[in-house]
Amino acid sequence: MHEYMSDWFVWVVDCPGDPEELTRTRRFVHQILSRTPWADDAALIVTELATNAITHTDSGKTTFRLSITRTPEALTIAVTDAGGTATKPRVTHPDADSSHGRGLAIVSALATTLTIRGDQHGHTITVRLGAGPRQP
């Protein structure tokens, strides 16, 4: 008898939209990826995306969805918020005196690719780390 083995792993978690849950979410990500080269970057990325979901959308009143797919070559992270805003998340480059607006730029700098999809009913930000050249 052969034991089923796979190099692909997928985790999907609905996380409470409470700022106190960010530490738990970050710890979860770091734990499941601890033996990969992506653990630290992934924990930072998830913290940023989850913070944005909680702060800028209805996820702060409900939940956001975290999805992580790990293959031998790459890691894909997706955070889906609860919507409630017509403003689409975007990478900005604020001036040095601004206290906000750098998070998605940091995420983009760490990512091989970053995509943003959705509308006022919810946005999904997907980040890929690993195989392939980084996007400009």
User: Which 8-state DSSP code applies to residue 89?
Assistant: P
Predicted local distance difference test score (pLDDT) of residue 3: 61
pLDDT recorded at residue 5 = 64
pLDDT at 1: 47
Q: Any idea what DSSP says for residue 98?
A: -
**In the chain, what percentage of residues exceed pLDDT 70?**
88
Q: What is the tens place of the pLDDT at every residue in 91-118?
A: 877 677 776 767 899 999 999 999 999 9
Looking at residue 51, what is its pLDDT? 95
DSSP secondary structure of 25-83: HHHHHHHHTTTSTTHHHHHHHHHHHHHHHHHHSGGGTSEEEEEEEE-SSEEEEEEE---
Quick check: 136 pLDDT over 90?
Answer: no
* Stretch 17-45: mean pLDDT: 95
* Residue 6, pLDDT score: 75
Q: Are 75 and 38 in contact (CB under 8 A)?
A: yes
Query: Is pLDDT of 32 > 90?
Result: yes
The per-residue pLDDT for 93 is 75
